[in-house]
């Protein structure tokens, strides 16, 4: 029978936890230690002994629980409460001004707005969830829709509180930020690895990523990661914390909760202020104890952030203004072109191999015909290469004074090098394309994409096998893969009986991949893995998506008009209709539907009604109005069409109202909306 905990021992344990938590906060967050290390160690040991004697004294927020005793066997994928989008990049102040112009065009009633600029930490994004003040889960960014549950490892980061520093915490809070390894810690880790004959980490970000995915949290604790919080997602009107209205308020609230936030930030009323902050830190950043590769700029007004929303990939209200990447000179030996799976023609620079940002580079993108003409490249030119976003090598300029005599100008071909068809450049596009759907390069790209890990994940079906399948006319579309036989595969060079059977089995196994992966595998322009998941969740069968108008597709959270129209247009093409028909065949049988939304009532009063909100409502925010409509079964879309049931009008309504009046759509005020919802709910 467990020993009853004496009252004085229970009280002592609570006092020790409180004292140690305060000491950790002072040391790791405030950088102002108030307890000598030896005193902290003695108190920690005393608490540890108490918890060993009385296990029921152990609480989730106890400092002794930061390091797990047993390694994790694996990491579980968890869906983010709200998608964790990455940021769009700008590489100079001119590109920043272009971004500023884009969001201003989305809000013609707002000429300018202050932004908060803070140094961008070169680390790994995390999403932390607190329930009733206690840390309950920590998840990596992953693909933005879901990430890995690494809660056990996150608990070892001492600048992340296990309990929020507030007496009346909200029921649920989500905090987002960046985990990173300070420079001096990184140097120590690599020195230890070198001494032990282990491979060195390439940079602190690489070390942080590897550390966070360690199965043994004791290893994570030894590497002493740090954390800066930058986003607070707080349910409205809950708990003892006022809902922030600005990014500045949000950062202040994070500090109140016990988090470390980056002190190197500034409220910037104008783009000139942003430029000054950006230039100030270009050289000064080398003196920081951690790596930074740019400045993150966010609109300070949080309601304005909500109003602007997201594109298919990025928030419209934030951007990363990156510092120039490392640049090196090399020789342009030749120029080739690549034909992508959408027919896009990309000129590629073939370079004399050169070391760049830790890797050897021998090829670099030249983007498109406009960029090629702007560079005025000749074979044999000395060119300057950098990594765009520190990932993709690109040619940034030419040292024309070093051009050899008789050099040949680099130009795009007029005909596709794969199929011989004339290349075209669609109106209002920078990209030149091959528009022959039977082009071997396009078909090859479709097949490679379909078999890729994020799509149907067909093990063993790599590019070399796909090239042979095409060369022998065994396949001409993704549907043909499912009719391949072992006997046909044995005709491929170096394909044995066992390999052929394994490949047939892998193709058959891909039939069980979920609808979202199949949708991504179709290769619709602008539909990445994240957008495919968003669409598949709303349109849970291929037929629902194939028959949806653009405005209905656009109503999905995170899907913009460009994506919506691209999806709509794809399903109108006869070749794609034929492909879907073949994929539906029972002999092929890939998953073209998922589970319908669970527990969705079908008898709600506004079911089937579509609303559009425009202008500023007197008392309701757009989020609140949308929630009330959806609770009644209605749907809120971003654009007016003939299928719109009502347009809800507030102050400073824009073009949506004019279009609604032209189409004769019923107009509602906020009071009208509330009355309608109340009447239908009671009828």
Specify whether 22 is catalytic: no
The rounded distance, in Å, linking the Cα atoms of 624 and 682 is 20
600 is in an annotated binding site: no
Burial class (CB in 10 A: 0-12, 13-18, 19+), 429: exposed
Q: Strand locations in 8-162, DSSP E?
A: 77-79, 89-90, 115-121, 124-131, 134-140, 146-148
Q: Is 148 left (phi over 0), alpha (psi -120 to 50) or beta?
A: beta
322 is in an annotated binding site: yes
The rounded distance, in Å, linking the Cα atoms of 364 and 322 is 20
The rounded distance, in Å, linking the Cα atoms of 334 and 208 is 38
387 is in an annotated binding site: no
Whether the CB-CB separation of 644 and 660 falls below 8 Å is answered with yes
Decide: helix, strand or coil at residue 441.
helix
Decide: helix, strand or coil at residue 463.
helix
92 is in an annotated binding site: no
Backbone angles phi, psi at 101, to 5 degrees: -65, -35
Which residues fall within 8 angstroms of residue 240, CB to CB, at 6 or more apart?
166, 167, 168, 169, 170
Strand partners, 146: 79
Enumerate the H helices of 353-496 as residue ranges: 369-375, 440-451, 463-471, 486-489
Q: How many helices (H) and strands (E) does the chain have?
A: 24, 21
Which residues fall within 8 angstroms of residue 484, CB to CB, at 6 or more apart?
469, 474, 475, 503, 504, 507
Instruction: Round the CA-based radius of gyration of the chain to a whole number and report it.
Output: 29
Backbone angles phi, psi at 495, to 5 degrees: -100, 115
Q: In the Cβ-directed half-sphere of 158, how many Cα atoms lie within 13 Å? A: 18
Report which of 373, 379, 378, 352 is spatially closest to residue 363, judged by C-alpha positions.
352
Q: Would you give the distance in Å from CA 583 to the centre of its chain?
A: 30
Which residues fall within 8 angstroms of residue 345, CB to CB, at 6 or more apart?
337, 338, 339, 368, 412, 416, 423, 431, 432, 433, 434
DSSP 231-291: EEE--TT-TTSPPPSBHHHHHHHHHHHT----S-EEEESSHHHHHHHHHHHHHHGGGSSS-
565 is in an annotated binding site: no
Which residues fall within 8 angstroms of residue 414, CB to CB, at 6 or more apart?
422, 423
584 is in an annotated binding site: no
The rounded distance, in Å, linking the Cα atoms of 295 and 320 is 6
659 is in an annotated binding site: no
Q: Within 10 A of 291 (CB to CB), how many other CB atoms are there? A: 21
Which residue out of 22, 120, 587, 643 is catalytically annotated? 120
Packing angle between helix 271-284 and helix 93-106, nearest 10 degrees? Answer: 150
370 is in an annotated binding site: no
Whether the CB-CB separation of 369 and 389 falls below 8 Å is answered with no
Whether the CB-CB separation of 634 and 609 falls below 8 Å is answered with yes
268 is in an annotated binding site: no
38 is in an annotated binding site: yes
410 is in an annotated binding site: no
187 is in an annotated binding site: no
Looking at the chain, how many residues does it have? 683
Report which of 274, 43, 245, 231 is spatially closest to residue 121, judged by C-alpha positions.
231
535 is in an annotated binding site: no
Whether the CB-CB separation of 569 and 492 falls below 8 Å is answered with no
39 is in an annotated binding site: yes
Annotated binding site for NAD(+): 37-41, 86-87, 118, 141, 178, 298, 322
Binding residues, by number, are: 37-41, 86-87, 118, 141, 178, 298, 322, 416, 419, 434, 439
Residues making up the annotated binding site for Zn(2+) are 416, 419, 434, 439
Residues with catalytic roles = 120
């Amino acid at each position: 029978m467990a020993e009853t905990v004496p009252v004085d021992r229970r009280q002592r344990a609570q006092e020790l936890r409180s004292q140690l938590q305060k000491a950790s906060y002072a040391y790791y967050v405030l950088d102002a230690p108030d307890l000598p290390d030896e005193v902290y160690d003695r108190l920690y040991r005393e608490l540890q002994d108490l918890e060993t004697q009385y296990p029921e004294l152990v609480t989730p927020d106890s400092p002794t629980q930061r390091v797990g005793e047993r390694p994790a066997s694996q990491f579980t994928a968890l869906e983010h409460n709200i998608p964790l989008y990455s940021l769009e990049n700008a590489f100079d102040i001119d590109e920043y001004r272009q971004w500023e112009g884009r969001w201003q065009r989305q809000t013609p009633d707002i000429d300018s707005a202050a932004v908060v600029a803070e140094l961008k930490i070169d680390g790994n994004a995390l999403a932390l969830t607190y329930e009733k003040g206690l840390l309950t889960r920590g998840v990596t960014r992953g693909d933005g829709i879901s990430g890995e549950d690494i809660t056990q490892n996150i608990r070892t980061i001492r600048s992340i509180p296990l309990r929020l520093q507030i007496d009346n915490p909200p029921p649920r809070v989500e905090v987002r930020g960046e985990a990173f390894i300070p420079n001096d810690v990184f140097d120590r880790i690599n020195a230890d690895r070198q001494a032990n004959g282990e491979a060195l980490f390439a940079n602190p970000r690489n070390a942080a990523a590897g550390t966070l995915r360690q199965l043994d949290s004791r290893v994570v604790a030894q590497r002493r990661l740090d954390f800066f919080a930058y986003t607070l997602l707080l349910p409205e009107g809950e708990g003892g914390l006022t809902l922030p209205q600005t990014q500045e308020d949000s950062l202040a609230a994070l500090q109140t909760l016990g988090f470390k936030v980056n002190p190197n930030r500034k409220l910037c009323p104008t783009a000139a202020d942003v430029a000054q902050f950006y230039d100030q830190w270009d050289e000064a950043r080398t003196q920081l104890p951690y790596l930074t590769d740019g400045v993150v700029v966010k609109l300070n007004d949080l309601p304005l952030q909500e109003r602007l929303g997201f594109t298919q990939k990025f928030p419209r209200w934030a951007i990363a203004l990156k510092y120039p990447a490392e640049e090196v000179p090399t020789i342009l030996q030749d120029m080739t072109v690549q034909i992508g799976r959408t027919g896009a023609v990309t000129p590629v620079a073939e370079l004399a191999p050169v070391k760049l940002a830790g890797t050897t580079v021998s090829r670099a993108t030249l983007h498109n015909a406009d960029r090629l003409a702007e560079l005025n490249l000749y074979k044999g030119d000395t060119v300057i290469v950098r990594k765009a976003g520190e990932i993709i090598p690109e040619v940034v300029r030419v040292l024309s004074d070093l051009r050899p005599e008789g050099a040949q100008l680099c130009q795009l071909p007029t005909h596709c090098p794969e199929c011989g068809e004339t290349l075209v450049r669609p109106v209002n596009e920078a990209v030149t394309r091959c528009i022959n759907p039977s082009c071997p390069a396009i078909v090859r790209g479709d097949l490679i994409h379909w078999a890729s890990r994020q799509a149907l994940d067909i093990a063993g079906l790599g590019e070399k096998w796909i090239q042979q399948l095409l060369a022998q006319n065994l396949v001409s579309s993704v549907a043909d893969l499912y009719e391949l036989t072992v006997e046909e595969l044995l005709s491929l060079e170096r394909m044995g009986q066992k390999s052929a059977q394994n490949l047939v089995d892998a193709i058959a196994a891909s039939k069980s991949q979920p609808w979202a992966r199949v949708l991504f595998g179709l290769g619709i322009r602008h539909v990445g893995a994240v957008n495919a998941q968003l669409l598949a969740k709303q349109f849970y069968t291929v037929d629902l998506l194939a028959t949806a108008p653009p405005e209905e597709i656009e109503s999905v959270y995170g899907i913009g008009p460009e994506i919506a129209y691209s999806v709509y247009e794809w399903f109108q093409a006869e070749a794609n209709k034929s492909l879907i028909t073949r994929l539906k065949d029972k002999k092929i049988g890939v998953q073209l539907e998922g589970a319908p939304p669970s527990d969705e009532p079908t008898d709600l009063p506004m079911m089937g009604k579509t609303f559009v909100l425009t202008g500023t409502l007197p008392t309701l925010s757009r989020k609140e109005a949308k929630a009330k409509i959806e609770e009644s079964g209605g749907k809120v879309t971003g654009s007016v069409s003939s299928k719109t049931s009502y347009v809800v009008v507030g102050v400073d309504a824009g073009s949506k109202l004019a279009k609604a009046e032209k189409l004769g759509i019923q107009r509602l005020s906020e009071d009208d909306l509330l009355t309608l919802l109340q009447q239908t709910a009671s009828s």
